[in-house]
Amino acid sequence: MADQMIAEDLRQPSTRPVPTTGADVLASIRGTSSHRPRVDPGLSGGLRDWLEDGLCSLTAGLVTPLVVSKQTLRDTLSDRVDPRNTKATITDSMALGAVMDALFRQLVTTGHIDDPVKDGIDALRVDPRRSEVVDFVHGLAGQQLVDFQNELNAQARILLTRWPRLSPAWLPRTQERIAVPLAGGDVVLVGVVDLIVGAPSSGRASVGLIELKSGRARVEDREDLRFYALLETLRGGAAPFRLATFYSRTGEVDAEDVDDELLTSSVRRVLTAIGRMVEEG
Amino acid sequence: MVGTSIPSTALPKAASLTEVLLAPSPPLVELSELHRLRHTFECELQMAAGPLDPKDRVRVDTYRLRNSMTGKNEADSPFRWTPWTARRPIGVESVRACLSNPRLTPVQATHEAIARLIRRADDERRPDSLSGWLAGLAIGGRAVVQAEAVVWTTQLLTALDWTKLGRPAVGGDRSVVVGSSGHVLLRGRIEVLARALSGDGSFGPQPVLFSMMTGRPGPTARAELGLTALTVTLDDRHSEIPLRVIGWWPQCGRALVVPVDVALLSRTCEAVVATVRATAPTRRPRFAEMATRESAERKTTRTAPRTARKPPIISAERVAS
């Protein structure tokens, strides 16, 4: 939802996503099966040690626990928003993102969406934490409401036509929470992944992470998923094999394989961001 | 490995967890020790629950124990069904279904479990039941509930190597009323109850417990797992003492392996007594007034008011150490 906060600050990702059919989306998510590497048993522990070493000089005097999410990383590194000011005002794009997340979840879980506006709002209404978004949408009127509904219906149509039906054997699970405590719990890296597929690793990389974005493609989108790849590696002891972002605005997919360099760059990014948070008090 | 996380380098984690869960071990608690512990526990509970109205009952579950130990003694908010609270009962039913039919996936199993519950709503006619709540939800709301249950089901199904567990019981929570007064109900949350292996590799009689927890392990984790073990231990219907309890936090991939010994049970009993003691005055505000009046009436004596005799709640650090 908060992904949309800076949606109007647009930069193209390094590799432009391509328009896709359902089969292409599936192929993008799968990647090349021969590229699923064997798990390096020392990688997860090494990344954790690196983070712990970096944090031990940073966390003195920190107000703990410091909860680090993809949003706080982005805000801190872009100097756009005070990351301590976590109470964001709901906007059209944020509400759209929240409803699209709910519809994506419904589609993956049940295989159908009947009425995008009604289903989406009903999904948010059942979660007390989303009451602000529900209130915001109910407060829309006139042209603003028409625009919102039109955009939602258009994106839902793209989702329904382009998103492939996943085999239940892939164990698709939506909005799974990850929380990795570091520095004795003083720092907690957190994330909620829109979609995880694949059983936990038994020696070869087996998990794919997918995010849905209702805004335009941005460079930061890849960084979000790389952060989630780091969390999954720390949590599961094995790196995921594939990261993919599905853009419901266009039906495009941006995907990449996971390698050691991707994970180490994410570690550096996390430590840089936490360093800045500490500097800024 | 005892009392620590499972090493992250051991893959698949399910195999490591299962191996640790089932590992053979001699019993750590003698029956005579248990009888002494039980007697002391019941006496202390009797005193702690004394101010309660005879009709009152304190339910001590992991939620209340954790709040008590961390000093969060705010009034309980009434229970309500949400996707978050509904995912476990639906998930337990789904995991059982998946184990009895290996071709079933979490998505299919949760769909069927929810459909069964909704059909049941017509018979139950209780709007506050899970069935009644689900029946009242629109499609979008039900989808969220199912999605949460899919996550929970997948997490439990992938946490263990089920082919090695023999005939595990899934979701066998235990409730035990302690003491003759019936004031205190202990509630132990158990995701899986299995039997430990004996020396010859066959399944022995001793239960081992597996609990799937939320978030990340905190300073009260050991006591929370201890409560699960204590509830099974005090359950007279089965008369069995578990060998160990494993807590599994899928959100962070951590496990805590806790052997069930006298020290664990004693500390858990202390924590339960402190929880009941902390609960009694808040549940019976008249007691505080009574104690104050009693104190005022006995100003000349050296008798302290009963509230002042309340020992501090056991510190989280002490229990977790």
Locate the domains of chain B by residue range.
13-76+163-272, 83-159
Quickly tell me which residue has 């936990």 as its tokens.
Answer: A200
Cα–Cα distance between B40 and B43 in angstroms, integer?
Answer: 5
Q: Which residue in A105, A114, A237 is closest to B139 by CB distance? A: A114
- pLDDT (tens digit, 9 = 90+) per residue, A214-249? 999 998 999 999 999 999 999 999 999 999 999 999
Domain A20-85+167-279 bears CATH identifier 2.170.140: no
Q: Are A123 and A100 in contact (CB under 8 A)?
A: no
B312 has pLDDT over 80: no
Whether B6 shows a pLDDT value over 60: the answer reads: no
- The candidate with the shortest Cα–Cα distance to A119, out of A109, A128, A110, A106, is A106
CA distance B69 to B83: 27
Strand duo A187-197 + B184-188: pairing = unpaired
> Among A172, A264, A190, A170, which Cα is nearest to A226's?
A264
pLDDT band at B227 (very low <50, low <70, confident <90, very high): very high
Asked if B143 lies within 8 A of A123 by C-beta distance, the reply is yes
Answer yes or no: is pLDDT of B13 > 50: yes
pLDDT digits (tens, 9 = 90+) for B168-187: 999 989 999 987 778 899 99
Residue B99, pLDDT above cutoff 90: yes
pTM: 0.87
pLDDT beyond 60 at A12 = no
Q: What is the mean pLDDT of residues A16-43?
A: 78
pLDDT recorded at residue A46 = 95
Answer positive or negative: Cα dihedral of B124, B129, B131, B135: positive
Asked if residue B303 has pLDDT above 50, the reply is: no
Lowest-confidence region among A150-164, B45-59, B263-277 = B45-59
Please report the pLDDT score of residue B29 as a whole number. 93
Residue B134 to residue B118: CA distance in whole angstroms: 6
Q: Measured between alpha carbons, how far is residue B262 from residues A111, B119, B157 in Å?
A: 51, 46, 31
For residue A237, the chain B residues in CB contact (below 8 A) are 8-11, 13, 253
Contact assignment for B143 to A105 by CB distance below 8 Å = yes
- pLDDT band with cut points at 50, 70 and 90 for residue B297: very low
Judged on CB neighbours under 10 Å (0-12, 13-18, 19+), B52 is buried
Residue numbers in A near B158 (CB within 8 A): 171, 199-200
Q: Is the pLDDT of residue A278 over 60?
A: yes
CA distance B142 to B114: 8
Half-sphere exposure of B86 (CA within 13 A, CB side): 29
Written as one string, the DSSP assignment of A4-45 is GGGTTS----SS--B---HHHHHHHHH--GGG-PBP-TTHHH
Is the four-CA dihedral B278, B281, B284, B287 of positive or negative sign? positive
Q: How far apart are CA B276 and CA B183, in angstroms?
A: 9
Distance CA A264, CA A178 (A): 19
Q: Residue B10 pLDDT more than 70?
A: no
Q: What is the pLDDT of residue B293?
A: 46
User: Given this model, what pLDDT does residue A66 score?
Assistant: 92
Residue-level pLDDT at A14: 43
* Chain A positions in Cβ-Cβ contact with residue B145 (cut-off 8 Å): 126
Q: CA-to-CA distance for A2 and B66, rounded, in angstroms?
A: 32
pLDDT at B32 over 80: yes
